[in-house]
Structure formats: C-alpha cells, structure tokens
Structure 1
Amino acid sequence: MTLFIIILRTTVQNSGELEIVSKVMFEFAEISKWSIDLEDCDRILRVEATARIGDQLKEKLNELGLDSAVLETFDSLLMQN
C-alpha cells in the first residue's frame, strides 16, 4: 500500500488551535498518523495518509481560520527506492 507523507506549514499558536487541527485530522479516514512541531517557526504539520489529501487538508484548515500551505507531498514507496 502506498503511503503519502504530507508536510504543511500552519499558523497554529495555542492549544485551542491544536484542538481544531486534531478534529480536522479525525475527519479524514485516509490519515493514519500525524504530528505538529509547535517549536518550529513554520508550525510544521506532518501527516501520513493513504491518499494525496494535502489540498483538502489545507482547505479545511483554512476554512476554520488556520492559515496553512502544503509544502511537500512524498510517496513513501518512491522514497524507499
């Protein structure tokens, strides 16, 4: 199975906004794992998913007031070769 690693820049600043991100992540059945680096100046959100859903994630986060941008999407099968 192909796994996609999606890297997004976000504007998450506090626990309330982190809770919004968490709720969004649970709306997507394709997501198997996610993490966010609040120490990084770009508040990097790293998502592992079974489909290329970066644009949908960005749109949903932006709808809820969290500015985000997809920086990169990696195909884990291609990364292994």
Structure 2
Amino acid sequence: MELDGNALGGDLSTVFATDVTDAVFVCAGCKHSGVVATLRVWEPAPGLVGRCPNCTDVIVRLVRTPTRVFLTLTGASRLEIPVEQP
C-alpha cells in the first residue's frame, strides 16, 4: 500500500523535535528536491521506506522497535529542517 511522506511524521517526531515532513530533502541519485511529505512511502514492512517521487530511489528508511528507532538517510544528499523563529 503506497502512502505519502506524511506517514513518516509520527515516528520521525520521536527522533526530531520538529515536524520533519516540512523539511526539504535532496535525492542523492537524481538531485530532485522536495519536502519529506512528498516522498512515496510503502508499507506494510518491518519499517517505513520513503522513496523519491521523481526516480523512486530510497531516501529514508525508518524502523521502530519497542526500545529504538533506526533511521537511515543514505539516499538524501541533504535534509534541510526549517527552524521556528522566536
């Protein structure tokens, strides 16, 4: 079942103190950039896999266990996380 990158939001919130679905990724493969919410996410699986909507390369893998969250961003050459202004 294919979802969008918003499916990563809840689990990513345990790793990051901000909503990462608004962060901009740059695909290491095709150099496409977009917000994490536009990633193509597939489940069910042992975890979530977010793929580039342009070339379908894997950008992020997230596996959650009862005691840990495993996160790989090897498919992203950059992740730009917006910072709230005071």
- The structure in which a higher percent of residues are helix is 1
Taking structure 1 as the reference length, what is the TM-score of the superposition? Answer: 0.30
Structure showing greater relative contact order (alpha-carbon pairs closer than 8 Å, 6 or more residues apart): 1
Taking structure 2 as the reference length, what is the TM-score of the superposition? Answer: 0.29
